[in-house]
């Protein structure tokens, strides 16, 4: 296996790193630059998005012909890591969740008309979308087969949708919702994916759910559908293929979480290193204490494990598609979610009281990190996926290619 980056990817890496250092990180320490989501405010975001687009650092996940960068997954792994060296980075380059995954799935399975109507505005005008799967008890959460939001045919060419979802990221800013609905009780074919425009009659944002950490733009919302009628042309793939749509979106989207979290984890180490190089106690610098070096060494080792797991899964997707990499993505997501949490925790500890303050971004990352072990599949679900694959595949589980 060859880890050499192509000249194009090296160039993207260097330019993203410089952009983040020069234009994004300087905004982090001024609270005036934050919005109600504890994220970059709209005015700054729009200026930076324009600049990123002008510099060709825009939509790395979609093909060049439609205005993106057309990077392979391996290249995205490099760029997203650099982008999220700042907490504000991914949104600036249009590679933040959930739009990142929504653009990806529309590009992969949308019809030409669906791409024109829903995908193009995301690339050209920075329009936004959301993915609406999760429901409160007794609806679908970890187990999507429990989804209750229903769609029944209306005439020959429309659907009528009723139900509710919650924790829908970006909902307040979204123009459309890729919604998983129940269209039959036939096992394995219960679900269908239908795009619901925000302005559809009967669609409502019930509330923004208050959460412990910072939010993606548009928050995490509870939404409801009351007799919402949408045309059949808004359906993605066939009736009964909702889970296929979900997996097409979720497998690479989970891996892009890993890519971004690795950047945040590296940032935690950098902030910790700067402090321990400067701070002295009991006669020596913290950086010279072996016990402190053990803590930093463990985080460095874990980041490198996460990078290798992520790069391997990216390489698999580039060669064989998302299905082939499903268990690898699950294991990478499981590992990187825990790693981000440990990296932020270690950096806070080594910064002492300063780490617990808002004088650094560590407490932001720490609160943000807790969601990583729940969203897009809780840790336990990814362990279940890995164990299930091992049970089925036996020694083939360990194949590299
Ligand atoms: C910040 C954030 C953003 C989100 N964004 C979106 C979004 O945009 N769109 C969307 O549709 N959803 C979104 N979600 C929802 C997320 O995908 C779900 O929270 C997740 O899939 C788990 O579902 P649940 O919350 O219903 O947990 P439940 O299914 O109720 O499970 C609760 C807990 O039970 C345990 N558990 C569950 N299954 C198993 C098992 N098989 N074995 C062992 N233990 C198990 C786990 O510890 C799990 O955390 C978001 C969640 C968060 C936190």
Instruction: State whether 339 and 377 are in the same domain.
Output: yes
Task: Tell me the CA–centroid distance for residue 236 and ligand 1, in Å.
Answer: 23
Average pLDDT over residues 148-156: 97
Q: Is residue 1 part of a domain?
A: no
Which CATH number belongs to the domain containing residue 375 in this structure? 1.20.140.10
- DSSP assignment, residue 21? I
Average pLDDT over residues 347-359: 98
Is the minimum distance from the CB of 377 to ligand 1 under 6 angstroms? yes
User: For residue 350, what are the CA distances in angstroms to 19, 227, 360?
Assistant: 28, 54, 12
pLDDT per residue over 77-124, tens digit each?
Answer: 999 999 999 999 999 999 999 999 999 999 999 999 999 999 999 999
Q: Nearest C-alpha to atom 5 of ligand 1 is from which residue?
A: 169
Domain count, the chain: 3
Q: Is the pLDDT of residue 336 over 90?
A: yes
Task: Tell me the CA–centroid distance for residue 3 and ligand 1, in Å.
Answer: 34
Is the minimum distance from the CB of 209 to ligand 1 under 6 angstroms? no
Which CATH number belongs to the domain containing residue 42 in this structure? 1.10.540.10
pLDDT of residue 23: 98
β-pairing, 220-231 with 235-236?
A: unpaired
> 64, 80, 59, 215: which is closest to 125 by C-alpha?
59
Is the minimum distance from the CB of 381 to ligand 1 under 6 angstroms? yes
**Domain stop point among 220, 239, 258:** 239
pTM of the model: 0.98
Instruction: State whether 80 and 115 are in the same domain.
Output: yes
Instruction: State whether 12 and 151 are in the same domain.
Output: no
Q: Is residue 172 part of a domain?
A: yes
Q: Cβ(178)–Cβ(165) under 8 Å?
A: no
Residues in CB range of 161: below 8 A, 6 or more apart: 149, 150, 151, 179, 181, 194, 196, 202, 225, 227, 228, 229, 230
Instruction: State whether 35 and 101 are in the same domain.
Output: yes
State which ligand 1 atom lies nearest to the alpha carbon of 136. Answer: 26
**Domain residue limits at 99:** 7-124
% of the chain with per-residue pLDDT over 70? 100
Is the minimum distance from the CB of 369 to ligand 1 under 6 angstroms? no
Instruction: State whether 231 and 302 are in the same domain.
Output: no
Is residue 1 very low, low, confident or very high in pLDDT (cuts 50, 70, 90)? confident
Q: Cβ(270)–Cβ(350) under 8 Å?
A: no
Task: Tell me the CA–centroid distance for residue 178 and ligand 1, in Å.
Answer: 18
Strand partners, 164: 224
CB atoms near residue 354 (< 10 Å): 15
Task: Tell me the CA–centroid distance for residue 176 and ligand 1, in Å.
Answer: 22
Is the minimum distance from the CB of 179 to ligand 1 under 6 angstroms? no
State which ligand 1 atom lies nearest to the alpha carbon of 135. Answer: 26
Instruction: State whether 209 and 147 are in the same domain.
Output: yes
What CA–CA distance (Å, rounded) separates 258 from 252? Answer: 10
State which ligand 1 atom lies nearest to the alpha carbon of 180. Answer: 11
Is the minimum distance from the CB of 168 to ligand 1 under 6 angstroms? yes
Instruction: State whether 115 and 154 are in the same domain.
Output: no
Task: Tell me the CA–centroid distance for residue 352 and ligand 1, in Å.
Answer: 33
Q: Is residue 23 part of a domain?
A: yes
**Domain stop point among 124, 145, 173:** 124
Largest CA distance in the chain: 80
Average pLDDT over residues 201-219: 98
**Domain stop point among 96, 124, 152:** 124
């Amino acid at each position: 296996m060859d880890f050499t980056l192509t000249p194009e990817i090296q160039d993207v890496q260097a330019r993203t790193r410089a952009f983040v250092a020069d234009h994004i990180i300087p905004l982090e320490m001024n609270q005036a630059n934050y919005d109600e989501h504890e994220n970059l405010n709209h005015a700054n975001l729009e200026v930076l998005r324009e600049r990123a687009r002008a510099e060709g650092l825009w939509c790395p996940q979609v093909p060049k012909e439609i205005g993106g960068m057309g990077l392979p997954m391996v290249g995205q792994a490099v760029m997203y890591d650099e982008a999220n060296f700042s907490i504000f980075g991914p949104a600036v380059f249009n590679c933040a969740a959930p739009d990142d995954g929504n653009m990806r799935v529309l590009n992969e399975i949308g019809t030409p008309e669906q791409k024109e109507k829903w995908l193009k505005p995301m690339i050209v005008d920075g329009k936004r979308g959301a993915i609406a799967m999760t429901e409160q008890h007794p609806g679908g959460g970890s187990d999507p087969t429990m989804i209750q939001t229903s769609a029944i045919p209306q005439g020959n060419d429309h659907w009528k949708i009723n139900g509710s979802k919650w924790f829908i990221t970006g909902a307040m800013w979204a123009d459309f919702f890729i919604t998983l609905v129940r269209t039959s009780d036939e096992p394995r074919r219960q679900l269908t994916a239908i795009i619901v425009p925000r302005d559809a009659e009967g669609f409502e944002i019930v509330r923004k759910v208050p959460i412990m950490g910072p939010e993606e733009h548009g928050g995490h919302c509870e939404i409801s559908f009351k007799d919402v009628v949408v045309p059949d042309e808004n359906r993605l793939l066939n009736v009964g293929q909702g889970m296929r749509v979900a997996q097409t979106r979720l497998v690479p989207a989970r891996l892009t979480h890993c890519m971004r979290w690795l950047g945040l984890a590296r940032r935690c180490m950098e902030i910790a290193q700067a402090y321990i190089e400067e701070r002295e106690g009991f006669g020596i610098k913290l950086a010279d204490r072996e016990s402190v070096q053990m803590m930093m060494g463990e985080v460095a080792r874990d980041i490198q494990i996460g990078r290798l797991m992520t790069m391997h899964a990216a390489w698999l997707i580039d060669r064989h598609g998302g299905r082939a990499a499903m268990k690898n993505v699950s294991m990478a997501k499981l590992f990187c979610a825990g790693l981000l949490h440990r990296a932020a925790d270690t950096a806070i500890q080594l910064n002492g009281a300063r780490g617990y303050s808002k004088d650094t971004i560590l407490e932001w990352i720490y609160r943000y990190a807790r969601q990583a072990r729940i969203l897009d599949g809780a840790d336990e679900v990814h362990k279940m996926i890995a164990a299930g694959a091992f049970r089925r595949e036996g020694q083939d589980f360990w194949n590299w290619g």
